[in-house]
């Protein structure tokens, strides 16, 4: 009986610790209206037969403002810009000098960007995702978000927070087995950002593809 009671207490303690992930996510969604950070992203594709696992690393800056506005500016190794103003999503490839323009509502849906920038509370997020806590022993508090709609390209998203509740990482796995880990540094939160941050104008001579 004593051993059983000890086991129950240990399990209860672990459950309490793990619950911080969801609390941190809810606090982030409710209290952080806008922010900016530097990021590094490592994308690992599933290895093909006879080939080694290869990881591509990129870096840049990230800015967002609720509801639904964000800007990913990839600087290394290739320049690429993703801007969303709440209605339209633009993707600009500098090497190709090509812009892809899409309606934001159709482009996002159950995506990582929707988690970070669109939903304002857990209730809204639960309309599209199953949410649960994870503890990986890496010093971060993780929330696993699994899309309710099956069969899409997105398999799972994990959002990592520091023990202080600061956004630290975003881990994404797609249905093809590709894994992307984005780590945020120097996160600054604020009430708002200049409107120009989320405005986009196609560079002169660029090909514009509307989807």
Q: Per-residue pLDDT tens for 91-122?
A: 999 999 999 999 887 766 556 776 788 777 88
Indicate the DSSP class of residue 200: -
- Average pLDDT, 10 consecutive residues per value, the chain (211 residues): 33 42 91 93 85 89 91 94 92 94 74 74 85 89 89 87 93 90 92 91 91 82
Do 131 and 119 form a contact (C-beta atoms < 8 A)? no
pTM higher than 0.85: no
3-state helix, strand, coil in the chain (%, to 5): 20, 45, 35
Q: Which residue, 184, 161, 190, is CA-closest to 38? A: 184
How far apart CA 142 and CA 122 sit, in angstroms, is 15
List Cβ neighbours of 157 (8 Å cut-off, separation of 6 or more).
112, 115, 129, 144, 145, 146, 170, 171, 172, 173
Do 45 and 51 form a contact (C-beta atoms < 8 A)? no
Helix ranges (DSSP H) in 95-142: 104-107, 112-117, 122-125
CA angle 159, 162, 163 (to 5 degrees): 125
Would you say the C-alpha torsion 164, 119, 198, 200 has a positive or negative sign? Answer: positive
Q: What are phi and psi of 186, to 5 degrees?
A: 55, 45
Q: Tell me if residue 168 falls in helix, strand or coil.
A: strand
**Domains of the chain, first to last:** 20-210 (2.50.20.10)
**HSE-up of residue 150 (Cα within 13 Å, Cβ side):** 0
Do 172 and 63 form a contact (C-beta atoms < 8 A)? no
Instruction: Give the per-residue pLDDT at 7.
Output: 33
Instruction: Give the per-residue pLDDT at 47.
Output: 78
Instruction: Give the per-residue pLDDT at 111.
Output: 64
Instruction: Give the per-residue pLDDT at 34.
Output: 93
């Amino acid at each position: 009986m004593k051993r059983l009671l000890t086991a129950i207490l240990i399990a209860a303690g672990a459950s309490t610790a793990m619950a911080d992930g969801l609390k941190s996510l809810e606090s982030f969604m409710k209290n952080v209206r806008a922010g900016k950070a530097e990021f590094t992203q490592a994308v690992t594709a599933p290895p093909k037969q006879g080939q080694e696992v290869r990881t591509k690393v990129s870096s840049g800056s990230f800015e967002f403002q609720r509801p639904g506005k964000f800007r990913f500016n990839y600087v290394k190794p290739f320049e690429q810009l993703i801007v969303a103003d709440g209605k339209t999503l633009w993707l600009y490839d500098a090497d190709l000098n090509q812009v892809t323009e899409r309606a934001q509502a159709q482009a996002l849906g159950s995506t990582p960007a929707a988690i970070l920038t669109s939903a304002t509370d857990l209730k809204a997020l639960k309309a599209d995702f199953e949410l649960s806590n994870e503890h990986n022993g890496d010093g971060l508090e993780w929330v696993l978000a699994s899309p309710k709609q099956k069969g899409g390209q997105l398999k799972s998203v994990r959002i990592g927070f520091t023990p202080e509740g600061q956004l630290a990482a975003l881990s994404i796995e797609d249905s093809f087995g590709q894994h992307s880990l984005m780590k945020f540094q120097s996160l600054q939160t604020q009430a708002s950002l200049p409107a120009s941050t989320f405005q986009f104008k196609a560079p002169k001579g660029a090909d514009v593809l509307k989807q």
